[in-house]
Chain A
């Protein structure tokens, strides 16, 4: 039990639609990262938020965006969904204190785009 929750568990959308995925971190965790894990592959870093500001981004287009809120929750938004966006989306949170602190992962949201 990592104390990180994600909702919904599963989601089915059609191409062109928009989706919002949610993550609730442990209290005090000021850093959240989002990853995309396609079937049979390792996670790919999408972006990270630190104290409500984007603090690093992987190789993902601008239609992937996020928000982090003061209550340690965060959102991943994806616009204009494409078939290749079908994947497991993971959020991971940590409380940054210097060095590389352990990231705690949620169980993920499985998104299917038809």
Chain B
């Protein structure tokens, strides 16, 4: 069975500093990869997704992620964070099967320090 590991439960970072949120998955087959953001008391919003093609994926709000098949990783990055980026970030994987089931990591809380 597939699994998703988000290595950090919390990541504190100063405003305007760069950030990387780590995600590793376990799968030997082709996968689709996603990053979602959840702001306090809100639902999940898609940041970006990797289906195929270029391994560097750009998303909304200045975020990007790089798919590394050999390391089975899909780390999320932003060169300069803002206070409004305070949220929980979830990495998810799908095998693209007929049921579109997403398997989720436990989430990483991004804490922006002023």
Contact = CB atoms under 8 A, between A and B. Distances in A.
Interface of A: 2, 4, 31, 33, 35, 40-45, 48, 55-56, 58, 90, 92, 94, 96, 99-108
19 contacts: A4-B43, A33-B102, A40-B107, A41-B107, A42-B92, A42-B105, A43-B44, A43-B90, A44-B104, A45-B102, A55-B98, A56-B99, A56-B100, A100-B96, A100-B100, A103-B102, A105-B44, A105-B45, A107-B42
Given A41-B107, A90-B43, A56 B90 contact: no
B57 interface: no
Interface of B: 4, 32, 36, 42-46, 49, 51, 90, 92, 94, 96, 98-107
Contacts of B99: 48, 55-56
A42 B42 contact: no
Contact of A45 (B46, B101, B105): B101
Contact of A43 (B32, B45, B104): B104
A55 B98 CA distance: 8
Nearest to A54: B99
A43 B102 contact: yes
B104 A42 contact: yes
Nearest to A96: B100
Given A42-B107, A43-B90, A108 B43 contact: yes
A92 B102 CA distance: 11
A96 B98 CA distance: 10
A90 B98 CA distance: 20
B104 A99 contact: no
Contacts of A2: 43, 45
Contacts of A48: 99-101
A15 B100 CA distance: 32
B101 A41 contact: no
Q: Report which residue of A43, A44, A99 has the largest number of chain B beta carbons within 10 angstroms of its beta carbon.
A: A43
